[in-house]
Amino acid sequence: MQISLANAKKLNWLWQDENEIAWIETFLKIADKSGKIVPFKLTDEQRTIANGLEHKNIISKARQLGCSVLICALSIRRCVCHPNTTCVLISHSQESTNKVFAKLKQMFYSLPDCIRPELLTNNRQELSFVNGSRISCQTAGNKDLLRGDTCTGILHCSEYAMWKDQERQMQSMMQAVTESCTVIIESTTKGFNSFTSTYMQASNGENDFKPFFFSWINARKLFEPQYKQAVKSYKARHNGKMLTEDEYDDEEKYLATLGMTPEQAVWRRMKIAESSLDSFHEEYPSSFSESCIVTGSSVFDNAKIVKLQQAILDRNIKPLSLDKIVGIPSLLQTHIKNRNLKVWEIPKIGKKYVLGCDLSEGLGGNRDSSTIFVMDKEDCRQVAEFASNKIKPYQMADIIDAMGRWYNKGLLVVEKASGGHSCIERLRYEKHYMNMYKYKSYDEFKRTVWQVGFDTNAKSKSLAVNDMREWFDKGLIDIQSNELLEEMKTFVAEDNGAFNAIVGCHDDRISACWLAIEGTKNGFWYPF
């Protein structure tokens, strides 16, 4: 069959790798939600993925984003355009593998006859072509997974968070991957697991994966038919009236700031009614931290956190700029400018303040921060916050001393762990700061000895965390820091009873907060 010069030029253009999306949209067709075969037009989310792929990629997403159909299309294109290419698509269950293979075959047979390569095999959930390329659909956990394969095109790991023995399987698969291969790990989060860890490390630049996150709010085109049906049902129950933003609850108001429309709000209410709020957060997260929350694992009430975040937005609570802060020590002015220090309220005459201080080693990177939580002792309102992971413990002593004296010689509650020991020594014996939290211990003769600082152990931390949880639940503490609230979203109770941030997250601000609470509850005031 002869083709015109113009068509030949267009084909040549389509075969260039930088025009991958155009090739897919020109030649491939898919089954839409109603089962009708239509040209494949990528959504914004699919286009973002296709354009942004690197050697290693990890995608955290809401359900039904269209990842599998996109990766089927990318695999077909690469195998057609590049002879001797091998793509492997791995699903978490046999049922899912069957669906992916059916989808793959439908898309392959939608190719025009003139460009569709002849098949050598079409069995055992594998398509192999006369040009030497092949696409294999496999199931995670299979003992023969990638056995004898060298993956040169695409390796897709679908719903990776649901795999058993994730790390072992990934280590085995990566041995079969070449530098030319595009590795795509994709999943809804399903709580705390190897996927969660890998994604957080990618977000923090600690591994060589490129992270993508897609909220359900942004995936409007994929769910449009469902939105329309939800709106129809809602109006039928409300005398033809549509939900307005004035009728939103606190979490809905917060989601509206992220772009949620009234139509999406109605659909969201319908989904929650079908299952639960926790289930919706897991399947359709608006943020990565929200997707990590598993019912019963989070220490703090996630809905209450979101409500408070919305209140902060509504009240337009922002730290004071330097020109509005009177009497601040010169040492602290620098940290206002570099945003290590946030001040919401300057010290007031006659007020007592408590400063919770959690010290790190100050090594930078994604390591823990040294943090200070400053609280008005009377009404338990947060008035200031300091956080930096680049300042050494001995330098933190200067900052804590300056902040404590500025806030009316407030009570310092310094955790003795990590860099706390050296900081306490400097504060007490070089700075001569006297108003410091003390705890009772006993010497070898069973005599009472008062030690400076907060002694953290499994028991004392458990009590302190539960105190903070009680204060938060009862509204006894007024938190101003959105960063602290974000930390609280990913602070969990582990199976062994320990309290920690999920892998890749931090809880430094939380520690400083509960230290301040313990100082308020149990500390003695030592005036100079």
pLDDT exceeds 70 at position 518: yes
| Average per-residue pLDDT for the chain | 88
Q: Judge whether 6 lies within some domain.
A: no
DSSP letters spanning 268-285: HHHHHHHS-HHHHHHHS-
pLDDT for position 350: 92
45 and 126 within one domain? yes
Q: Judge whether 12 lies within some domain.
A: no
Query: Poorest-confidence range of 144-148, 255-259, 374-378, 419-423?
Result: 144-148
CB under 8 Å to 411, separation ≥6 — which residues? 352, 353, 354, 355, 377, 435, 436, 437, 519, 523, 525, 526
189 and 229 within one domain? no
The pair of structure tokens assigned to 350 is 């006659």
Question: Any idea what the CATH number is for the domain that residue 465 is in?
Answer: 3.30.420.240
- Banded model confidence at residue 2, pLDDT cuts 50, 70, 90: low
402 and 281 within one domain? no
pLDDT exceeds 60 at position 295: no
pLDDT for position 130: 94
pLDDT exceeds 90 at position 284: no
225 and 119 within one domain? no
Q: Judge whether 317 lies within some domain.
A: no
pLDDT exceeds 70 at position 293: no
How confident is the model over 14-30, as a mean pLDDT?
Answer: 92
Q: Judge whether 267 lies within some domain.
A: yes
Whole-number Å distance between alpha carbons of 348 and 268: 45
CB 401 within 8 A of CB 422: no
pLDDT exceeds 60 at position 6: yes
Whole-number Å distance between alpha carbons of 311 and 289: 19
pLDDT exceeds 70 at position 89: yes
The pair of structure tokens assigned to 222 is 């994929």
- Banded model confidence at residue 528, pLDDT cuts 50, 70, 90: low
488 and 360 within one domain? yes
CB 417 within 8 A of CB 456: yes
pLDDT for position 434: 92
Better pLDDT: 517 or 164: 517
290 and 182 within one domain? no
Whole-number Å distance between alpha carbons of 499 and 464: 11
pLDDT exceeds 90 at position 171: no
Q: What percent of the chain has pLDDT over 90?
A: 55
pLDDT exceeds 60 at position 1: no
Whole-number Å distance between alpha carbons of 486 and 506: 10
CB 410 within 8 A of CB 404: yes
pLDDT for position 527: 61
CB under 8 Å to 340, separation ≥6 — which residues? 386, 387, 388, 391
pLDDT for position 48: 93
The secondary structure of 37-83, three-state, reads EEECCCCHHHHHHHHHCCCEEEEEECCCCCHHHHHHHHHHHHHHHCC
Reported as a single tens digit per residue, the pLDDT across 355-410 is 999 998 888 776 789 999 999 999 999 999 999 999 988 899 999 999 999 999 99
DSSP letters spanning 362-427: ---TTSPPEEEEEEETTT-BEEEEEEESSS-HHHHHHHHHHHHHHTTSPEEEEB-TTTHHHHHHII
pLDDT exceeds 80 at position 260: yes
- Which ranges of 211-297 does DSSP label H, i.e. alpha helix? 220-237, 250-257, 262-274, 277-283, 288-291
Q: Judge whether 315 lies within some domain.
A: no
The pair of structure tokens assigned to 204 is 């923090």
203 and 257 within one domain? no
How confident is the model over 62-72, as a mean pLDDT?
Answer: 87
Better pLDDT: 6 or 103: 103
pLDDT exceeds 60 at position 85: yes
226 and 96 within one domain? no
Residue 523 burial by CB count (10 A; 0-12/13-18/19+): exposed, middle or buried?
buried
How confident is the model over 435-439, as a mean pLDDT?
Answer: 92
The pair of structure tokens assigned to 75 is 């695999």
Three-state secondary-structure class, residue 135: strand
Question: Any idea what the CATH number is for the domain that residue 28 is in?
Answer: 3.40.50.300
pLDDT for position 473: 93
pLDDT exceeds 90 at position 308: no
pLDDT exceeds 60 at position 445: yes
pLDDT for position 335: 95
pLDDT exceeds 70 at position 429: yes
Q: Nearest 5°: phi and psi at 121?
A: -135, 150
Report the domain count for the chain.
3
> By residue range, what is the domain housing residue 366?
322-522
Torsional class of 240: left (φ above 0), alpha (ψ -120 to 50), beta (otherwise):
left
CB under 8 Å to 19, separation ≥6 — which residues? 13
Q: Nearest 5°: phi and psi at 116?
A: -75, 120
Q: Judge whether 309 lies within some domain.
A: no
The secondary structure of 315-333, three-state, reads CCCCCCCHHHCCCCCHHHH
pTM beyond cutoff 0.85: no
| β-pair type (448-452, 438-442) | antiparallel
451 and 365 within one domain? yes
pLDDT exceeds 90 at position 212: yes
Give whole-number Cα distances, 164 to 63, 91, 141, 178, 417, in Å: 20, 12, 7, 24, 36
Better pLDDT: 385 or 275: 385
pLDDT for position 186: 92
Sequence length of the chain is 528
